[in-house]
A and B are shown apart, each in its own frame.
Chain A
Amino acid sequence: MNKNSKIEQETDVLEQYRALWKTYCESLPQARVVDCIEFHRRYEREQRSTQRRLMAACLMMAALIVVLPLVPIHRSTVFTNGPSRGEVLALSDQLIALL
């Protein structure tokens, strides 16, 4: 099955789902129809809102990935056989200041 026919099939399933939902709502007693439709609308609204939030988060993350390499970060790679990285950097700073 190629990709397009798969998408078409999934779209069909979605349409069928919507039709079913409509039928289900309409089959309910009049008093509950409004609740059902409202529930469905709210569900779709929440879905859209979630999608918007996810989209915004994706955009922010993409921006972060673009900006991160441009930010100047001075972090030295330190090899040491004993003292901690902080101690080594502090001692080197202290000694370089005496030069």
Chain B
Amino acid sequence: MRKTNLLRLLLALLSLLAVATVVVRLNLWNIRGVQPSGLYLQYKDMPGIQASFIKDKYINDSISIPVTLLQAEDSAAFFMLLKELGKPDDMIKYMYKYVKDDQSRFVKLNPKGHPELPQDSVRGNNEVVATFPVQRAVIIFHTETEEQIDIVMKANFLKKIKYEESI
């Protein structure tokens, strides 16, 4: 009887431990205290902008990179967002002029944490900023190294090559 009760108690404790392991593993309720990017914090309360931060976005199933995603609800908010991200008026006009379809995108390198500044001369000091005019969205890949920049830039290119080779 006593042994049975002890085993029941042990089982309850182990179950609790298993649940705790799952919670920590999946980081439910942000139990590991992951901090979002500065850009997310900057835009999360801005009206007209849907801001998101993904801690570990897998690129091409090979590497995970933190990503900030900013999407404007309308053209005016998108224009304002591009201006805040340091895109000059003529570049925004150019962007719209040459947008052909919903696959158009403009990919640039900007200094880490400063998408409004021009590219840093040391390539590894930059992160990848991709603008999608039709979707009114901007993705900032918070890359740490030059290798990560290469992986982001080549991710889809390599995928297409693989696809074309397979058909």
By beta carbon, the residue of chain B nearest A62 is: B14
* B71 contacts A80, C-beta separation under 8 Å: no
Is residue A16 contacting chain B, with contact meaning CB distance below 8 A? no
* A73 contacts B54, C-beta separation under 8 Å: no
Residue interface bits A38-63, CB-to-B below 8 A is 1, else 0:
00000000010011001101100110
* A79 contacts B52, C-beta separation under 8 Å: yes
A78 and B156 contact, Cβ closer than 8 Å, known pairs A69-B25, A73-B25: no
- B interface residue count range (under 10 / 10 to 19 / 20 to 34 / 35 or more): 35 or more
The DSSP consensus for interface residues of chain A is helix
| Residue of B18, B69, B152 touching A61 (CB-CB under 8 A) | B18
- Report which B residues bind A (CB closer than 8 A): 1-4, 7-8, 10-11, 14-15, 17-18, 21-22, 25-27, 30, 32, 34, 36, 40, 43-45, 49-59, 64, 67, 69, 71, 103, 105, 107, 130, 132, 135, 137, 139, 152-153, 155-157, 159
